[in-house]
Homo-oligomer: A and B are copies of this chain.
Amino acid sequence: MRQPRLKDVAEAAGVHVATASRALNDRTAGMISPETVARVRSAALSLGYRVNGMARALKTRRSFAIGMLLPDITNPFFPPIVRGAEDALSAAGFTLVLGNTDNEEEPARRHLTGMLERQVDGIMIASARRDDPVVEQLRDAGVSTVLVNRITQRGGVSSIIPDERVGILLAVEHLQRLGHQRIGHVGGPRNTSSGAQRAQAFADALGDAYRPDLVVHADRFTEQEGHQVATSLLDRSDPPTAIVAANDLLAIGVLDALGDLGRSCPRDLSVVGFNDMPLVDHIRPPLTTVRVPGYEMGRRAAEMLLAHIEHPDRPAETVLLATNLVIRASTAPPTSRNGPTTGS
């Protein structure tokens, strides 16, 4: 026989379905006499009854499911975020639906449509681009949304991002204190807030020392892309003595490029990453990087989203999460080989 339904429980307990429904829900069990509640619940237990969430959602217009869009779960920076979100969500009785977008619009739309059709109660987006029509639509459609790690240019939707400005500033100051004067930047995609903001923060931090020709941008936040664009930067007659990368994956790409050229870090080049994603403390050399609390970011994002679902009329807010510099072995003073006085 098939899954028992509420009606079966009600019959087994000798009450009406409505009564059974009330007895089973904590919120409404107070209306029912303790004996009846007990009778219904034990009947449900012995029948192995399980509510049909679809029917409930149809009636209550709440699915207790949340969707999350991210570029690629395979990027080691995201799992802690997802884990943080999932922990907060499941603690509140919500379920997490995941979708990878590869930073492209078509998959993003596809996933979004699917999630919305399935009546998710809200959406977290970790894959927003600076100009993202998808986010606009969501906002206009009145869907509870929280942006994570990346924001769009036009606001109107709550978001939580790392303090990129401070992070980059700390990185630059660290390098300058070590004596570096020719500092380059391997930036991320300019159509993302992280790519654009970090590049801007880099320029601002350097001030007069800013050298536009020492800045390159990757089209994606991947090791391969970092490798490729860093090569052009390193393969010139007057390469930088230090590089601030827009994230750890790009930084690793820089290290790869450096190795290809037969040079080594930090002897020939200092490298700073961004995110402090898992395992970068174990790579060669252990990476100096700006730490972003991924787990916290995911957790708080979920909490913000749940709060927004409870109180849809509260204004959007954007939270800036503190970052700090973790100094490891990929940064060191410039040597005479690459120092400013060399000028071959």
Contact = CB atoms under 8 A, between A and B. Distances in A.
Interface in A111-157: 111, 113-119
A285 to B, nearest CB: 8
A252 interface: yes
A54 interface: yes
Contacts of A316: none
A323 to B, nearest CB: 20
A76 interface: yes
A58 interface: yes
Contacts of A98: 82, 86, 96-98
A50 interface: yes
Interface stretch (A6-14, A203-211, A276-284): A276-284
A55 B53 contact: no
Q: Which 9 A-B pairs have the closest CB atoms?
A: A284-B284, A53-B118, A282-B283, A53-B117, A54-B58, A54-B57, A73-B79, A279-B279, A74-B79
Contact of A95 (B50, B100, B114): B114
B110 A90 contact: yes
A96 B95 contact: no
B51 A117 contact: yes
16 contacts: A51-B117, A52-B58, A52-B117, A53-B119, A54-B57, A54-B118, A74-B80, A74-B278, A76-B76, A76-B79, A76-B278, A86-B99, A90-B110, A97-B97, A97-B98, A252-B279
Contact of A86 (B53, B73, B76, B86): B73
The listed residue with most B CB atoms (<10 A of its CB), out of A63, A72, A279, is A279
A296 interface: no
Contacts of A53: 117-119
A97 B279 contact: no
Interface in A31-74: 50-55, 57-58, 63-65, 72-74
A83 interface: yes
Contact of A97 (B96, B113, B285, B286): B96
A100 B86 contact: yes
A87 interface: yes
A227 B283 CA distance: 17
A73 B97 CA distance: 14
